[in-house]
Amino acid sequence: MEKLFSFIEQGFQEMVNIRRYLHQHPELSFEEVQTPAYIAAFHRALGHEVREHVGERGVVAVLRGGKQGKTVALRADFDALAIQEENDVPYKSQEDGKMHACGHDGHTATLLGLARAFNTMKEDIAGNIVFIHQHAEELAPGGAKAMIEDGCLEGVDVIFGTHLWAPTPLGKILVRDGAIMAAADRVEITIHGKGGHGAEPHHSIDAVVLAAQFIVNAQQLVARRVDPLKSAVISFGHFEAINPFNVIAERATLLGTVRTFDESIRNQLEKELAAVLQANCMAFGASFDYRYVRGYPPVYNHKKETDFVAQLAVDVPGVSDVITCPPMMIGEDFAYYLEKVPGTFFFTGAKNPAWEMAYPHHHPRFDFDERAMVIAAKLLGKATWHYLQDNQ
């Protein structure tokens, strides 16, 4: 381990350089061209087997060790978000309206740095390491499912992944077996009323009022229809009815998300949201369009692999604490990998101790402590090494 850790530490500046280069040149989900080409070129220079355009835009690189053994997959995502960066840093995004606001640039740099470290000692590796570089994590249907269908998990025995997590202080590792992240679904609604003059509401069917009533009523599904010992979230982040101030809206559009862990609750809310919407609209003679789009399933970590990583994390240099975290209502298409092979997904704390606050993920001023990449690489590397050594 000391040898691997030493190589990772020596490669820290390269990781920083990679991360900052990618940060300056973000590409949105399903629009990635230069990023996967950059990743593929990096692995080819190391002599790894490389396959591009996996599942459309993903990259899979394979390092074959000098000894026979099992196969471990490590995954990092590389897409950015449609956000205008507000940070004043030398590596600020050079693309208007695009930003790595979730740490995927750091995920990629971590995995590339780890790939170089492992490559220097490949003759000692008892098995194979598959580096899965995934496109389009941020936008359903995501890249994971398509990459799996294109064979990225063929021959893989176990998979590990991590998310650099800015709200958690540097040095802390968050783990959890079972459900750690929620199913993330999308709701699209249009309410069709009857427009009219703002002074004569009795001649109209106000789509804005109906939409507002529906949003409030929808919250009662969580409060009064969902088992209080189970979790669910219904949030509407988009409400649009473009009209002059004195015109009653004929049409209102809502976009929202539903987050659940339990499949029965997921099914229940899909049906009951439609029932509440129908009741609201029927009462006042309006019509509606309703579309419930299934997003990523919940992320369910396998207990054996989660315990394995948690035990190893305690002795990783830079790790100060290993915490069993509560389930989170955020979504991740890493869930698809865990449906196919055993593995675990954990969070690596990335908040700089000197910062009074850390801006949340998906914020225009998001950033993270780059030293977290070394900790993440060491833990992923240690888990990979020990798994292969223990299963010869």
Element (DSSP H or E) covering residue 242: none
Residue 356 has a pLDDT of 86
- Phi, psi (rounded to 5 degrees) for 298: -65, 150
Say if residue 310 is in the same domain as residue 174. Answer: yes
Residue 252 has a pLDDT of 98
314: which DSSP letter? T
Say if residue 73 is in the same domain as residue 153. Answer: yes
Say if residue 171 is in the same domain as residue 40. Answer: yes
The CB density around residue 169, as the number of other CB atoms within 10 Å, is 18
Asked if 31 is an active-site residue, the reply is no
Q: Which residue, 263, 296, 329, sits at the end of a domain?
A: 296
Residue 9 has a pLDDT of 98
Could you give the 3-state DSSP secondary structure of residue 30?
coil
Residue 1 has a pLDDT of 84
Burial class of residue 154, CB neighbours in 10 A (0-12, 13-18, 19+): exposed
Say if residue 108 is in the same domain as residue 188. Answer: no
Q: Nearest CA to 67 among 112, 7, 129? A: 129
Q: Which domain holds residue 43?
A: 2-178+299-390
CATH number at residue 191: 3.30.70.360
Residue 296 has a pLDDT of 97
Q: Do residues 368 and 351 lie in contact, with contact meaning Cβ atoms separated by under 8 Å? A: yes
Asked if 137 is an active-site residue, the reply is yes
Distances (CA, A) of 168 to 10, 160, 172, 368: 25, 20, 7, 10
Residue 332 has a pLDDT of 98
Q: Which residue, 263, 280, 296, sits at the end of a domain?
A: 296
Say if residue 318 is in the same domain as residue 171. Answer: yes
Say if residue 68 is in the same domain as residue 147. Answer: yes
- Please tell me the distance from the alpha carbon of residue 104 to that of residue 69, in angstroms, as a whole number: 30
- Counted domains in the chain: 2
Say if residue 164 is in the same domain as residue 312. Answer: yes
Catalytic residue among 27, 32, 77, 79: 79
Residue 392 has a pLDDT of 84
Say if residue 223 is in the same domain as residue 286. Answer: yes
What's the distance, CA 71 to chain centroid?
24
Structure token digits, residue 235? 């949030």
Catalytic residue among 27, 85, 105, 137: 137
Question: At a CB cut-off of 8 Å and minimum separation 6, what does 160 contact?
Answer: 72, 73, 74, 75, 305, 309, 343, 344, 345, 380, 383, 384
Q: Do residues 351 and 168 lie in contact, with contact meaning Cβ atoms separated by under 8 Å? A: yes
Q: Which residue, 246, 261, 296, sits at the end of a domain?
A: 296
Element (DSSP H or E) covering residue 206: none
Say if residue 289 is in the same domain as residue 304. Answer: no
pTM: 0.94
Could you give the 3-state DSSP secondary structure of residue 255?
strand
Say if residue 92 is in the same domain as residue 18. Answer: yes
Instruction: State the average pLDDT for the chain.
Output: 97
Residue 142 has a pLDDT of 97
CATH number at residue 325: 3.40.630.10
3-state helix vs strand vs coil in the chain, percent to 5 = 35, 30, 35
Q: Which residues of the chain, if any, have pLDDT below 50?
A: none
